[in-house]
Amino acid sequence: MPAKTWEDITIQVETRPPLLEKGMNEFLVIATKLDRRPAHNLLVSLRINEDGQWHQAIQDGEVGVYRRAINTAMPKTDVLFVRIARDNREGIFEFPLAEQKPR
């Protein structure tokens, strides 16, 4: 999915499996500062569609990777929302799952 930018951070989303299937899928949010260092001081939450419940992602060490498995009912039409919070500021980004491209 195309990357998004928030403040000095680039947000990239990857999935496991690489091509989404109906059911539980793992989402990896990769946060990289513009100087190519990992952004590891964030609170990252995910939800599917606007009416979905927010789920806090788990930080994977200090490498700028946050992960969470979420049920995806309709991978061709669902939208992943990513909420990034840092120092009382937040940004919310939409990643239409239909934009997912095989690697």
Tens digits of residue pLDDT in 5-56: 999 999 999 999 999 999 999 999 999 999 999 998 899 999 999 999 999 9
Give me the number of domains the chain comprises: 1
Residue 40 sits in which domain range? 4-99
Exposure string of 78-87, with b = 16+ CB inside 10 Å and e = fewer, is bebbbbbebe
**Domain containing residue 50: CATH number:** 2.60.40.10
Specify the pLDDT at position 48: 98
Q: Is residue 66 a contact partner of residue 28, using CB atoms and an 8 Å limit?
A: yes
**Which residues, in sequence order, are CB contacts of 38 under 8 Å at separation 6+?**
31, 32, 62, 63, 64, 65
